[in-house]
Structure 1
């Protein structure tokens, strides 16, 4: 009898301990989600200032956001407001009514790259990322080097990103592609102003065309004289050049504040979400 009571007590103790442990873990995760939601809000509004990696406690949160409905919905809402504004613009018909787009995380998504380098919380790749952008794991592994495990959030690495750009396989951000096509139909002259360098022109043009972008007026990339300039300065100078050419920049879409701020700014700016990296 005493032995039975002892076993029962031990069973109850283990069960209660497991329940308490699971509750503590869930509370910790819930607390992290609340904090990370606030962190994402602060980085999107530029209150965080300069940052070079996702906080370790927010890696899973960012991964879930970027591969779930949140990122897609936020991008669609921004695009809808941009289109709503665009429809109020009276197009003069002289080809000078302009809209400026950034490229990375605006027209093209580098999420497959960051699935390997930017936000992973586990030691293996998340199949959801592969499925969203490539359809099958086989297609993904044919296009990306999968010899190394998924890494935790890490600082930006120019060399590995350049290799990814050379593949010309970044998928279109669908909300931006739809907006782009609508703007062309409305009669806007579209410029692409990217922080990519001139030597990446061919790969960038190929990627954009493969993803459905066409008939842009000019793709502006960093020249040798632009190397080392902060993005805000470089993009401001290029926008000012367009204004001096007589273009009226009504709208500007980008995922970084450095895409939108500075001088030579547009009439309206539209900030897309990006909790993956920050470019000053």
Structure 2
């Protein structure tokens, strides 16, 4: 009987030690393969960075142990600074490397969600990417037209407009959201674009990257010179034909292929 008590006490001790250790207990046993001691914050920052480097792909949810960290990041000054730096680089490129012909065919492509408009308010209610995407729920939120502008992107948008570029919005939003999308964009300061291209029923049969490359083929076929693309997903900027330059905004909340 005493032996059983000892075993029971040992198990209880292990359970208590795990509980006290909290969410960091299972993160690589607190060490990297090189023996470096790490924390939960180190692990989650590394995960986020490798998403941005495109080493981590096709993830469906943010790792449960990193949800809090990702939530803090996308609502932080650091997220705004990271976005601002990307936009500033686009402005430098526009100012120094774009020999615009100003014949109505100089173009720039913008994605919409988390490029011009922020979906962070929606994902805040969805465990900051910790829950699988519910497209119906997301589209219901989009239809309300309450997404705020990303301020740095609005600055770039207005810079493009002032320089006479044709601004083309290419989104994986579906066509039935056109009216709500236009109202939302105009309400937060985006107006004067050349065209807004959304996914029709036929486009839904292909992946987002293929859909967006097909749009670029069509635009180039119409004579447009695509000087740049800004997007938050690699599927918005990769594939052939390419723009002359692409700029990736940070987004560790979800992955679209």
TM-score after normalising by structure 1: 0.78
Is the Cα contact below 8 Å between 2:175 and 2:200 reproduced in 1? yes
Query: What's the counterpart of residue 114 of structure 1?
Result: 123
Q: Which runs of 4+ in 1 moved over 6 A?
A: 26-30
Q: Could you give the per-residue CA deviations for residues 172-218 of structure 1, whole angstroms, max 9, x where no partner exists?
A: 01110111001111221100000001111000000000010011000
Q: Could you give the per-residue CA deviations for residues 28-56 of structure 1, whole angstroms, max 9, x where no partner exists?
A: 69711101111011111111121000001
Aligned-partner Cα distance in 2 for 1:240–1:196: 19
SS at match of 2:125: helix
Cα–Cα, structure 1 residues 25 and 154, in superposed 2: closer, same or farther, change >3 Å? Answer: closer
Question: Of the candidates 58, 63, 76, which is equivalent to residue 68 of structure 1?
Answer: 76
Aligned-partner Cα distance in 2 for 1:35–1:271: 23
Is the Cα contact below 8 Å between 1:192 and 1:219 reproduced in 2? yes
TM-score after normalising by structure 2: 0.85
SS at match of 2:39: helix
Structure 1: runs of 5+ lacking an equivalent? 1-19, 120-151
Measured after TM superposition, the shift of residue 25 of structure 1 is 5.8
Question: Of the candidates 46, 51, 59, which is equivalent to residue 54 of structure 2?
Answer: 46
Instruction: Say how many residue pairs are matched.
Output: 229
1:100 is aligned to 2:109 = yes
Q: Could you give the per-residue CA deviations for residues 83-141 of structure 1, whole angstroms, max 9, x where no partner exists?
A: 1101121221101111000000000001110010142xxxxxxxxxxxxxxxxxxxxxx
Aligned-partner Cα distance in 2 for 1:153–1:50: 14
The two structures, once aligned, show a CA RMSD in angstroms of 2.0
1:222 is aligned to 2:199 = yes
Query: What's the counterpart of residue 12 of structure 2?
Result: none
Question: Of the candidates 178, 187, 191, which is equivalent to residue 210 of structure 1?
Answer: 187
Is the Cα contact below 8 Å between 2:23 and 2:65 reproduced in 1? no
